[in-house]
Amino acid sequence: MENLIINISLILIGVIMLYYGAEFLVKGSSSLAITFGISPLIVGLTVVAFGTSAPELFVSFTAGMKDSSDIAIGNVIGSNICNIGLILGLSALIMPVRVNIKAMKIDIALMILASLAVWIMIIDNEIGRFEGFILTFGILAYVAYTIKKVLKGKDVVETEVVAGQKKKSKGFYILLIISGLGILIIGSNLFIEGAIQIAKTLGVSNAIIGLSLVAFGTSLPELATSVLAAVKKQSDISLGNVIGSNIFNLLFILGITAILFPIGAGDIQNVDYIVMILLAVIIIPMGLIKKQYGRIDGLLLLLIYFAYMYYLFVNLPK
């Protein structure tokens, strides 16, 4: 019991450190980029996008170092399920989420395509280095496409990266970046160590822990952002946050991790991929019908998420 409490404490401390590490990294790097004359718009699409995916990246990287790569892929699949089922569902339940499916058709299509690609890649029970390079190329192409689209005036994206902040020295921003990276590294190690030990104590596989506990913990930045946006009646921000995060998780996180540490499937089942793809597909007809995700839609997404969580723990691998 004492060991369980210690490991839960490690996870909680790790979650807090992951959240603030990502915050410091985003604020420091985006502010530094802007002081060098880089457009806030471009910063929002690149630096901020990377920063919000930093917890997943560091946790997956740490899992790979500890020979627990099934936590890495469980983390990504679980986070994508959590992003749509829990985060978008909760946001829509708080305040209907406005949506323009036509404007985001490329992004949503890429999210679905990337989900299918990862499922196909893992058929041989491993995502190797070559496949990692393919996924990484995909995220580079997506970022380049997004920046090109915005610069041509086809889309409007606003960012409040440095809103309300007083200008500080470059040294301060560099210190903030270094601090953020350091906190992320320490936090991810504590988080993974606690998660692995709990899995061993409860007799639960690393994959299940990755799909549930680790996925929820690394999705906290997206959860906080989306819920806050919904409370402020700016819930349309939630969809972009969710779609962008899912694409980065599949292409960037898995890509980089696989290049460094080939990822094994572990106890990840076909049903996990199916639920991830189902949620990615189901938001299309929902958005087309009423041009928004209403409270009924939000409730349906939440029910799918909690039904999946129930399924996970009722059907634990023996």
DSSP string, 193-244: HHHHHHHHHHT--HHHHIIIIIHHHHTHHHHHHHHHHHHTT-THHHHHHHHH
Which CATH number fits the domain that encloses residue 255?
A: 1.20.1420.30
Interval 71-97: pLDDT, tens: 888 889 999 999 999 989 998 898 888
**Rounded-to-integer distance, Cα 305 and Cα 300, Å:** 9
Beta bridge partners of 292: 98
Interval 236-290: pLDDT, tens: 566 777 888 899 999 999 999 999 888 888 788 899 999 999 999 999 888 887 7
What mean pLDDT, rounded, does the chain reach?
A: 81
Is residue 159 over pLDDT 70? no
Overall number of domains in the chain:
1
pTM: 0.81
% the chain with pLDDT above 90: 26
Q: What domain range includes position 8?
A: 2-314
**Structure confidence at residue 158 (pLDDT):** 46
